[in-house]
Amino acid sequence: MKPDLFQAIADPTRRAILTLIAIQALTPNVMAEKFDMTRQAVSKHIKVLHECDLIKPEHSGREIYYHFNAKKMQEFDHWLAQFRQNWETQFNQLDHLLKTIKEQE
């Protein structure tokens, strides 16, 4: 079964990998050097991210460079946007309430 986007980004190592390759495309070996784990462990994380389309491979000779797929992350951002307005409204109401309480003191 293909992992979903939420499962993929739930893991801190996978989020760190996304942060790394958002700046620059990297090979699995270079990514593995950044973590205190084996190359095989990093490859498993890469596989999950790739299956979720969060990263895209690009072959260059014998190397594979992984690139961040911003379009897939935009899907996540659009999903979050439906909640963002509600949160902002609630925070504004809380700010107003706290200000009112402070003024009454």
Q: What is the mean pLDDT of each run of 10 residues along the chain (105 residues)?
A: 83 96 94 93 96 95 95 88 89 92 88
pLDDT at 82: 86
pLDDT at 5: 87
pLDDT at 68: 96
pLDDT at 76: 84
Which residue, chain included where needed, has tokens 């979720």? 52
pLDDT at 1: 66
What DSSP line would sit under 8-72, residue for residue?
Answer: HHHSHHHHHHHHHHHHS-B-HHHHHHTSSS-HHHHHHHHHHHHHTTSEEEEEETTEEEEEE-HHH
Give this prediction's pTM.
0.76
CA 11 from chain centre, in angstroms, equals 9
Q: Which residues contact 86 (CB under 8 A, 6 or more apart)?
A: none
Structure tokens at 75: 């899907």
Q: On the CB side of 31, how many CA atoms lie within 13 Å of its CA?
A: 29
pLDDT at 75: 85
Backbone phi and psi for residue 11, each to the nearest 5 degrees, phi listed first: -85, 130
57 touches 43 (CB < 8 A): no
pLDDT at 85: 87
